[in-house]
Structure 1
Amino acid sequence: MNATPELTRLRDDSLVQVHWMDDSPVSGEHSSAHGSVSTRHGVCTAGKSAGLEVIWVDTGAARTILLPGRGMGIWQIEAAGLRYGWKSPVDGPVHPCLVPIHDPDGLGWLEGFDELLVRCGLESNGAPEKGPGGGLRYPLHGRIGNLPAADLRVEVDQESGRVAVIGDAVETKLFFKRLRLSSRIEFTPGASRIDWVDTVTNELSTPTTIQMLYHVNAGAPVLSAGAQVIAPIEQLIPKDDLSADEIDRWHEIGPPESGYQERVYFAKLAADAEGQTAVLLRGADGDAGLGLRIDTENLPYFILWKNTAAMEDGYVVGLEPATNYPNPKSREAERGRVVSLAGGQSVRFRVGLEPLVGLESVRGFEQQIEQLRAGRTAEIHDRPDPHG
């Protein structure tokens, strides 16, 4: 173990003190006939990050910072000199103990939000909701993104060369719930693509309902004026009147704008015969992008979040595959958009994330989406759905 913390550039505009634990079983060089992937396990030691576990993963093509201390989130990826993530006014990564998730207004989650990937769930994943007595019932985006993972380990598949970082986080409350997230995040030597498989299990004997949303967030330099979201839309509905006013340019990204108010669009995406679909954030010049691959079997809905505010206010777009739309849970339950789990039952979610660099790789990903929407006519609603 290193005797003193190192100053590590976890982001290109900040230095974070990390105590790297090179004798941790999670740290090491993991080799196969296909190449090697290195991992390094550490703990942040200063500021709002103090005590937060991180894992650095280097495939040779990309360097990824995982946040097992924040629900197995992904803070950022660096590939070919480009950073995939965003610059939030929140100076993170923030230890969950400093995130007041149960603030009375339900918005405490926002005090820790600055990742490339954050999971929203598990009991609920949408807007905050008050109970009959006026107290907070469900906080914004749920609790799982602010719970630490345990039983961290690394597995190597010698046949494929893939290296998986695995961890479990448990969302629990006596008499009410015990939901286990078992997350497996897979890396391939020499590749920038990341795939994760999450299994959520109801560990009580009684039935319950869960929700999951993957909040994938991209900012500059990939995001800029002229960028576009490319998706095989089957149905698109604006969340509110403000979003409806821009429905004809829902996919277009504007420049940073002070005072900008978020626009949100609810969608269903076309998929292939195996239920696989894809979404692309294409950079303005077409030579950089962020691709998302989604297994729609258990993630049948997609949300686009556009928050093109001033850079210092958080210039970002969110690509969000989900089990439902992020309305209050009671409204989603009324519409059948929750996942029911019997005691001991599990549900599995699969998503892939691919940083794209170069005209050829971006265009190749876009062509896959074009194939998915070939011969289909998108159903675009110009007003919000009054029934949610």
Structure 2
Amino acid sequence: MVKLYGKNLSRHEAEALSGNLSHAAGVRSMVLDDGVERGIRLLEFRTGTGLRFTVLIDRAMDIADCDFRGQAIGWHSPAGFRHPALHEPEGEGGLGWMRSFSGLMITCGLDHILFMAEVPTPEYTYGPRATARHSLHGRIGTIPARLTGHGERWDGDRCFLWAEGVVTQGTVFGEHLELHRRIEVEVGSNDITLSDRVVNRGFYRTPHMFCYHINVGHPVLEEGARYLAPVRDVVWAAHAESYRAQNAGYRTMPAPQAGFHEQVWQHEMGADDAGRVPVALVNDRLGLGFMVTTRKDQFPCQYQWQNFQQGQYAMGIEPSSNHVLGNDAARARDEMTWLNHGDERRYDSTFSILPDAAAIAAAEARITAIAAQPKEDFPAPSGTFTPIGGRS
């Protein structure tokens, strides 16, 4: 059944109410037409519950805007949703990526995910390209997709909104990787499912790394908001040498601050019996939260990003294929994923709105049942990076 406005409706009943389901829910194509966003194609999804989000076709089909009943979920930075033609991937010593950094979700990869690095590339057998110079978080997030379809799909009396596309990261004498992305949400629900496949279409043995930079902003993020996660161990903190200097711990969020320097943590997460890892940011005052559920076998690592600078206020949930140690360490530790022609890796995730106090309590109970996270805001990082197995 389709649940709309507090009623469970059959397809017949839903279609009898209006000439088109779009009066309540749907997915439609748009083009932005001003400023740095001019020319970007996007898809707007509305589920009929008050959940609305947009998908940037021309930026890897990442999710940009996201709001629920008029309350923002996703983060908006000063950079805006910049058109990829304006992007300078090699600019500012590799930090040019920051000028395209905004929205609920930015995909990082497909062969590099963290800070700038230069790594050897003997696999490409091309002398002039003896190394690859990677800018921050890789290339994929600013590459336009080829949209292969979008619309409504009825399954009996249930209706699903969906979109699919392919994003190609390729070059001569280098990588040729494809991201196949499907985004789907059921009408009457608050759960966005993201199904990704990364495929090596080339004929070189190619490294692969993958990460989602999922950014939650105000009002979900405000002073007192809580980070809920099945944290078995706080592994690492970039600011460990001045751990308490900014008075911002991992668990309870502060108000925006002047002169705040970003903080990044890595946590070792537990998983439920099905291998799923739920992580949430919740605002008890509003009775509103946002939860990301991933698979431990697909994303064995998880970072937490804190940017509490005034005017840029955000917290990031970052599931990752690799430790925060970086590209060189992934190779040295034999934890890099290597894809031969036709090899692929799958990533299946769910983004959920927690619309009220009851949903927050249920999410917290689910998370706590997996692992009781440290109760203090400043647990000592262990420095124990669990080996990642099963890599080809």
- Which range, TM-score by smaller chain? 0.7 to 0.9
Please tell me whether the aligned partners of residues 129 and 139 of structure 1 are also in contact (alpha carbons under 8 angstroms). yes
Q: Does 1:70 align with 2:59?
A: yes
In structure 2, the partner of 1:285 is 285
Distance in 2, matches of 1:108 and 1:386, equals: 32
2:29 alignment partner, one of 30, 38, 41: 41
Q: Assess, with a 3 A threshold, how the Cα gap between structure 1 residues 199 and 136 changes in structure 2: closer, same or farther.
A: closer
Q: Which amino acid in the other structure matches residue 178 of structure 1?
A: H
In structure 2, the partner of 1:197 is 195
Distance in 1, matches of 2:346 and 2:187, equals: 25
Distance in 1, matches of 2:372 and 2:102, equals: 36
2:81 alignment partner, one of 62, 69, 93: 93
- Aligned to 1:259, the other structure's residue is in SS state coil
Distance in 1, matches of 2:248 and 2:234, equals: 11
- Aligned to 1:285, the other structure's residue is in SS state coil
Please tell me whether the aligned partners of residues 167 and 179 of structure 2 are also in contact (alpha carbons under 8 angstroms). yes
In structure 2, the partner of 1:9 is none
Q: Does 1:178 align with 2:176?
A: yes
Please tell me whether the aligned partners of residues 303 and 317 of structure 2 are also in contact (alpha carbons under 8 angstroms). yes
In structure 1, the partner of 2:135 is 139
1:158 alignment partner, one of 143, 155, 158: 155
In structure 2, the partner of 1:11 is none
* Deviations 1:324-358 (CA, angstroms, capped at 9, x unpaired): 13443112222233222121111100111112221
Q: Assess, with a 3 A threshold, how the Cα gap between structure 1 residues 384 and 262 changes in structure 2: closer, same or farther.
A: farther
Give 1:131 shift.
5.4
Give 1:101 shift.
1.0
Decide which moves more: 70-79 or 34-43: 34-43
Give 1:134 shift.
12
Give 1:235 shift.
2.0
Distance in 2, matches of 1:375 and 1:49, equals: 40
Please tell me whether the aligned partners of residues 214 and 320 of structure 1 are also in contact (alpha carbons under 8 angstroms). yes
Q: Which amino acid in the other structure matches residue 175 of structure 1?
A: F
Give the alignment's Cα RMSD to 1 decimal: 2.8
Please tell me whether the aligned partners of residues 57 and 147 of structure 2 are also in contact (alpha carbons under 8 angstroms). no
In structure 2, the partner of 1:309 is 309
Distance in 1, matches of 2:218 and 2:198, equals: 33
In structure 2, the partner of 1:122 is 110
Please tell me whether the aligned partners of residues 119 and 144 of structure 1 are also in contact (alpha carbons under 8 angstroms). yes
- Aligned to 1:108, the other structure's residue is in SS state helix
Q: Assess, with a 3 A threshold, how the Cα gap between structure 1 residues 34 and 334 changes in structure 2: closer, same or farther.
A: farther
Please tell me whether the aligned partners of residues 56 and 66 of structure 1 are also in contact (alpha carbons under 8 angstroms). yes
Distance in 1, matches of 2:28 and 2:82, equals: 19
Number of residue pairs the alignment of both structures matches: 354
In structure 1, the partner of 2:4 is none
Q: Which amino acid in the other structure matches residue 149 of structure 2?
A: R
Q: Which amino acid in the other structure matches residue 277 of structure 1?
A: V
In structure 2, the partner of 1:3 is none
Please tell me whether the aligned partners of residues 243 and 265 of structure 1 are also in contact (alpha carbons under 8 angstroms). no
* Deviations 1:111-132 (CA, angstroms, capped at 9, x unpaired): 0111101100001011111358
TM-score, length of structure 2 as denominator length: 0.83
Q: Assess, with a 3 A threshold, how the Cα gap between structure 1 residues 243 and 32 changes in structure 2: closer, same or farther.
A: farther
Distance in 2, matches of 1:33 and 1:212, equals: 43
* Deviations 1:293-325 (CA, angstroms, capped at 9, x unpaired): 111211111000011111x2x000000111013
Q: Assess, with a 3 A threshold, how the Cα gap between structure 1 residues 277 and 157 changes in structure 2: closer, same or farther.
A: farther
Q: Assess, with a 3 A threshold, how the Cα gap between structure 1 residues 170 and 229 changes in structure 2: closer, same or farther.
A: same
TM-score, length of structure 1 as denominator length: 0.84
Please tell me whether the aligned partners of residues 125 and 141 of structure 1 are also in contact (alpha carbons under 8 angstroms). yes
How do residues 162-311 of structure 1 correspond to structure 2 at under 5 angstroms? Answer: 162-242=160-240, 245-246=243-244, 249-285=249-285, 287-310=287-310
In structure 2, the partner of 1:112 is 100
Q: Which amino acid in the other structure matches residue 59 of structure 1?
A: T
- Aligned to 1:249, the other structure's residue is in SS state coil
Distance in 1, matches of 2:196 and 2:385, equals: 31
- Aligned to 1:271, the other structure's residue is in SS state coil
Distance in 2, matches of 1:248 and 1:169, equals: 37
Q: Assess, with a 3 A threshold, how the Cα gap between structure 1 residues 120 and 207 changes in structure 2: closer, same or farther.
A: same
Q: Does 1:83 align with 2:72?
A: yes
Q: Which amino acid in the other structure matches residue 136 of structure 2?
A: L
Q: Assess, with a 3 A threshold, how the Cα gap between structure 1 residues 75 and 136 changes in structure 2: closer, same or farther.
A: same
Please tell me whether the aligned partners of residues 275 and 295 of structure 1 are also in contact (alpha carbons under 8 angstroms). yes
Distance in 1, matches of 2:133 and 2:205, equals: 19
Distance in 1, matches of 2:11 and 2:300, equals: 36
Q: Which amino acid in the other structure matches residue 232 of structure 1?
A: P
2:38 alignment partner, one of 50, 53, 59: 50
In structure 1, the partner of 2:317 is 319
Please tell me whether the aligned partners of residues 106 and 129 of structure 1 are also in contact (alpha carbons under 8 angstroms). no
